[in-house]
A and B are shown apart, each in its own frame.
Chain A
Amino acid sequence: MCGIVGLFLKTETYRPELGHFTAMMLHEMRSRGPDSAGFAVYDEGTPHHVRITMLAEDRVVDWAATAADLEGFLGAAVKVREIHDHAVFETAGDGRMARQWIIDHVDGVEVMSFGSQIELYKSVGDPALVAERFDLASRSGTHAIAHSRMATESAITTSGSHPFATGANTCLIHNGSLSNHNQLRLRLQQHGETFQTENDSEVAAGYLSWRLREGDTIEEALERALVDLDGFYTLAIGIESGFAILRDPIACKPAVVAETDDWVAMSSEYRAIAQLPGVGDAEIWEPDPATVYTWSLT
């Protein structure tokens, strides 16, 4: 099953309440995915700074010491923020280099996301508790995607939870199951992608990561995904300036979109959208199968 939600604020009106609305939407999707949850929030960030969100599951990491070592490597200051078992490093140094350094040098730490706009959190357990643990409701920003997971293809772990990062400022959430993920994982590994789990959705994320690295636009990458991904999927993809949706050609995994002058919301079910302000006047429709949709600030 799984529940997915996305909210993109077109105007500034509700930006202070982005997290509040996203938490409300995620709350409605608890019954679709009680095993674990995660979310990615996008805000304007600090100019010329990059943030790296990391997870240290079941182990204690001296984040301050790690940041000091990273400063030495980057030659730039690294600011640390710890939230539960996650930490966010912020630096004016090179984000991609910082990410790779952490993967290579810090044992037991997974990099959840990196980019100037994105922070990404996930955890096992009731989605409502996960939202509370990382204080989703208090966050402001331009857009967010969130996922409640009912595990089918791999174990219930934090690292197997969604979203999965696909590159700088991009991440993906998935409702469905891929049938060719083992074969595709091998292909992607040959292209240099690394995977942290056995999860099928991480393969979809790795696929987009590869295509974006090869220079595809998000639209081109998703058009290509229609050919290469075999299985059932409704995908929501967070990008720097908004989000995108893709459903497989059969489209048996649900999706509904609502749009007003102020916001675009998507979800697995309408009830997640029902509480948003002005929903009574929203244009509401179902995304077509095998069709790429994107909403963007620019």
Chain B
Amino acid sequence: MSSSASTVLDFQTASLREINQTLHDETTGSFTIVNPRGAHAVAAGIDSDIQVEIDGPVGYYCAGMHQRGSVVVKGNASTGLAENMMSGTVRITGNATMSAGATACGGLLVIEGNAGSRCGISMKGADIVVGGTVGHMSAFMAQSGNLVVLGDTDSDLGDSIYEARLFIRGDVASLGADCIEKEMREEHLVLLTELLSKAGMAAEPRDFKRFGSGRKLYNFHVDDIDAEVARRTEA
């Protein structure tokens, strides 16, 4: 086989388990998955430097726990795209529904279309770049990493956020608890330029606003100690 040829894995002739096992067994090469028809857990848990392209829409948890290599989805994805990814890249040409990039610890997730609610919920270090819009409660309790949104966001962006950085070009419907707009400093413009370049998105970094934690909520507020001690003493 020449190095440019891609191995075709077809859901009409192989089961999900067989297809994922093939992807887990191989350590090099490229693979094209056809006829996924919304199947769940497609290309989950890839742990070697292979290239996977999925032609068509996928269901839940596509490329979940992604560790190495790249996955490209040509279509839409349902709940939990690239949830808990650790490194490597995942790209989708269509839209992703709920909880894309949930708890993702590292790597790059690119959503060329729109993402649904809770995009980047509890993200822990991944970079997520969304070409379109994101739904409500995106970056809920996001701990670290970067969420870049070229379009608008729905309500309650960054509710109870820790130290993730949010870069939004469009309108923000509303901010969640303790999420505030922050100054876009030179270091952030450099970071954003790099993220947009990695994602292959053409946008002017100066058009974005930065949001992050007001740090009033995620840490136990020292002023509250006296009140708490008094309450317990009375009790």
Contact = CB atoms under 8 A, between A and B. Distances in A.
Q: Do A and B come from one complex?
A: yes
Interface of A: 250-252, 254, 256, 269-275, 284-286, 288-289
A103 B117 CA distance: 44
Interface of B: 37-39, 57, 59-60, 76, 78-79, 95, 97-98, 116-117, 135-137
- The 4 lowest CB-CB distance pairs between A and B, nearest first, are A271-B38, A270-B38, A274-B37, A274-B38
A254 B79 contact: yes
Contacts of B136: 251, 289
A254 B98 CA distance: 8
A270 B78 contact: yes
B38 A273 contact: yes
Contact of A284 (B37, B76, B116): B76
B97 A271 contact: no
Contacts of B97: 254, 256, 286
A288 B133 CA distance: 13
Contacts of B57: 270, 274, 284
Nearest to B37: A274
B38 A269 contact: yes
A250 B117 CA distance: 9
B79 A251 contact: no
Nearest to B79: A254
Given A272-B38, A284-B57, A289-B135, 5 more contacts: A252-B98, A269-B60, A270-B59, A271-B39, A274-B37
A275 B38 CA distance: 10
A97 to B, nearest CB: 46
Given A254-B97, A270-B78, A274-B37, A286 B59 contact: no
A245 to B, nearest CB: 15
A269 B38 CA distance: 8
Nearest to B97: A286
A273 B116 CA distance: 19
B62 to A, nearest CB: 11
B93 to A, nearest CB: 13
A269 B116 contact: no
B124 to A, nearest CB: 21
A124 B151 CA distance: 46
Contacts of B76: 270, 284
Nearest to B94: A284
B78 A256 contact: yes
B61 to A, nearest CB: 12
